[in-house]
Amino acid sequence: MLLIECPHCGPRAETEYAGCSEAHIARPESGGLDMTDAEWVEWVFWRKNTKGVYLERWNHAAGCRRWINCMRDTVTNEILATYKAGEKPPKIADAEREYKF
């Protein structure tokens, strides 16, 4: 189980969180009706599936109920940083590490 540090509440078990998905996916500016199909599907379906350092968001559902962001290595599951929704990801020295296969 992951131990995820909520920036508001401190380290909490993964089971307190819900709704894991890619972070920093902004709803297109144009909003509803005038969105093109391409913009719409991009927002709805297309996600990164990074093997290596990945940015995701979690909802601290059984805690403060706020969305938070998390930088995690998807090979080792090591959590490199967590930060508040709306913030930019912190610079991590070895965030460049990459795994090919």
Contacting positions for another protein (CB under 8 A): 1-2, 14-15, 17-20, 37-38, 41, 44-51, 54, 56, 72, 74-77, 99-101
Provide the minimum distance between the beta carbon of 10 and Zn ion in the complex, in angstroms, as a whole number.
Answer: 8
Asked if 68 and 55 touch (Cβ cutoff 8 Å), the reply is no
Question: What's the order of all strands across the beta sheet hosting 67-73?
Answer: 18-22, 53-59, 67-73, 79-84
CA 77 to chain centre: 13
Task: Pick the closer one to another protein by CB: 21 or 30.
Answer: 21
Taking CB under 5 A as the criterion, the residue among 57, 60, 70, 72 binding Zn ion is 60
- Candidates 4-12, 20-28, 29-37, 82-90; binding stretch for Zn ion (CB under 5 A): 4-12
> What value, to the nearest 5°, has the Cα angle with vertex 11 and ends 82 and 75?
55
Q: Which of another protein, Zn ion, none is residue 76 near (CB under 5 to 8 Å by kind)?
A: another protein
Closest to 48 (Cα-Cα) out of 11, 29, 74, 85: 74
The residue ranges that bind Zn ion (CB under 5 A) are 6, 8-9, 60, 63-64
